[in-house]
Structure 1
Amino acid sequence: MNTDSKGARPPLVDIGVNFHSAQLASMTSPLLARAKAAGVAQILATGTSLASSRLALDLAKANPGVVFATAGVHPHGAKSHDTATFRELIELWKCPEVVAVGECGLDYNRNFSTPQAQRTAFEQQLSMAVETRKPLFLHCRDAFTDFHDMLAPVVADGARGVVHCFTGNRAEAEAFLEMGLDIGITGWVTDLQRGQALRAAVPALPLDRLHLETDAPYLFPKNSGARRGHNEPANLPWVAAGVAELMNREVDEIIQACTANSRRMFNLPGT
């Protein structure tokens, strides 16, 4: 695939990169350079804890117009979410560089935090999405029913957001879409073994509700024909290619639509 940004391909937006991860933490400058060369114009640095949310904000401030931050507590870390953490997150959500509340949600797959702790942290972050009017950057794994039930009233109150790294089936996707949420697609869509449910769902999803993301350093796209040991934003064109193939559309059409969706959802600059 030609990922030369000098071509006619429209710019990409990667809505989920874990710059704070051990695999990427020391590589920010080359990651951003390679992303730019691949046509990735804007990136959301994911905050999954108070510490990583601060780092995401610092990165956004250092790269204005290119990197933006999310701030929140991932369900894995919900057990350490307390009043002091919440107060500090409130201050982060006031910053214009922080464009979303999260990564937040429920994860009953590993239960690194108890389901009750997860629900408590999630509920507080949901309330702040309504108050701040910033979109939610959402995580759901093996917790569809509780997740859906907790989101329904806040979406009815005006909250909006993206179910990040969606790996579920068509029925779950349609339930989120009907509620008013958008869907984030990662390299999972290129996995012919684990990604079958998602691959079956994608052709039926409306293009104006989809977003592209790498979730780097995770979920390296299988269709790239190579593996470097970690994923990175420069690989986002391969995610777009995977979606385009399943939807029987041109890659540029997928990119243009998803970029417009992401810029609209997160209030990013650009046309």
Structure 2
Amino acid sequence: MPLVTAFGEVGFDHTEAMSKWQDQVELLHRLLPFLEARHLLVVHCRGVRGDSGDCEFAIRSLLFHLKLGGVPQSQRIHFHCFTGTKSLLEIWGRQQPNTFFGFTRVAATFNKNQVAALRAVPDSKLLLESDAPYFASKKGGHSTPFTLYETAEILAGHRGVDVSHILKITTQNGTSLYKKE
């Protein structure tokens, strides 16, 4: 349909039983033929419970399957809820350079490798996310879009910049990324 501008969220959830992983791969490969260059591809990866939090296997696997599925390097991608390391960010960026990376309040719990990745995201590729209603605000209860400011505070702290800078660049990036072409 011509009015559809975004495709997703697709990816791998390795918090599911390993017996379900192949089903996720097969579903991804059934969906990818419907992806068009005009679409924004929204991807998400979740790693195995209890891993270091960086989702390394899931992210590397998704990148491999996107390439195998014919996703071109020029594809615009929103990597939703990125929790990977700096090396994963660099690998992803080399293979899919038109990717923007979204971060939620989960960044408050990042380890040093994940913080290094957050710091390495260029200003021009950074996105704020609430992922409402999944992450509680610091006041408690479910998150809402109003928790974006709290997320901006977390990102600003990790990046050593003012909150207003994070709000400005992420607003520009989101507006640019999600505009209808």
Larger Cα-atom Rg: 1
Give secondary structure in 1 for the equivalent of 2:5: strand
- TM-superposed CA distance for 1:201, in Å, is 2.0
- Return the letter of the residue paired with 2:132: A
1:186 corresponds to which residue? 104
For residues 133 and 18 of structure 2, the distance between their equivalents in structure 1, rounded to whole angstroms, comes to 20
- Return the letter of the residue paired with 2:14: Y
Alignment counterpart, residue 120 of structure 2, candidates 198, 201, 204: 204
For residues 124 and 160 of structure 1, the distance between their equivalents in structure 2, rounded to whole angstroms, comes to 20
2:171 corresponds to which residue? 259
Give secondary structure in 2 for the equivalent of 1:241: helix
Cα distance per residue 1:196-230 (max 9 Å; x no partner): 14223212221111111011111235xx4x21x21
Do structure 1's residue 137 and structure 2's residue 53 form an aligned pair? no
TM-score normalised by L of structure 1: 0.56
Instruction: Map 1:54-133 onto structure 2 (within 5 A).
Output: 94=1, 96=3, 98-111=4-17, 114-129=20-35, 131=36, 133=38
- TM-superposed CA distance for 1:175, in Å, is 1.8
Change (3 A) 1:112 1:216: farther
- TM-superposed CA distance for 1:157, in Å, is 5.7
Do structure 1's residue 148 and structure 2's residue 63 form an aligned pair? yes
Q: Are the equivalent residues in 1 in contact too, given 2:130–2:148 (CA < 8 A)?
A: yes
For residues 168 and 157 of structure 1, the distance between their equivalents in structure 2, rounded to whole angstroms, comes to 20
1:243 corresponds to which residue? 155
Number of equivalent positions: 167
TM-score normalised by L of structure 2: 0.81
Q: Are the equivalent residues in 1 in contact too, given 2:5–2:38 (CA < 8 A)?
A: no
For residues 211 and 132 of structure 1, the distance between their equivalents in structure 2, rounded to whole angstroms, comes to 21
For residues 113 and 124 of structure 1, the distance between their equivalents in structure 2, rounded to whole angstroms, comes to 19
Change (3 A) 1:111 1:136: farther
Give secondary structure in 2 for the equivalent of 1:171: helix
- Return the letter of the residue paired with 2:66: L
For residues 154 and 123 of structure 2, the distance between their equivalents in structure 1, rounded to whole angstroms, comes to 14
Q: Are the equivalent residues in 1 in contact too, given 2:37–2:75 (CA < 8 A)?
A: no
For residues 86 and 78 of structure 2, the distance between their equivalents in structure 1, rounded to whole angstroms, comes to 16
Alignment counterpart, residue 144 of structure 2, candidates 232, 243, 253: 232
Higher relative contact order (CA 8 A, sep 6+): 1
For residues 113 and 214 of structure 1, the distance between their equivalents in structure 2, rounded to whole angstroms, comes to 30
2:53 corresponds to which residue? none
Change (3 A) 1:268 1:212: farther
For residues 174 and 166 of structure 1, the distance between their equivalents in structure 2, rounded to whole angstroms, comes to 13
Change (3 A) 1:166 1:157: closer
Q: Is there any run of 5+ residues in structure 2 with no aligned partner, and where? A: 48-57
Instruction: Map 1:162-181 onto structure 2 (within 5 A).
Output: 162-178=78-94, 179-180=96-97, 181=99
- Return the letter of the residue paired with 2:25: R
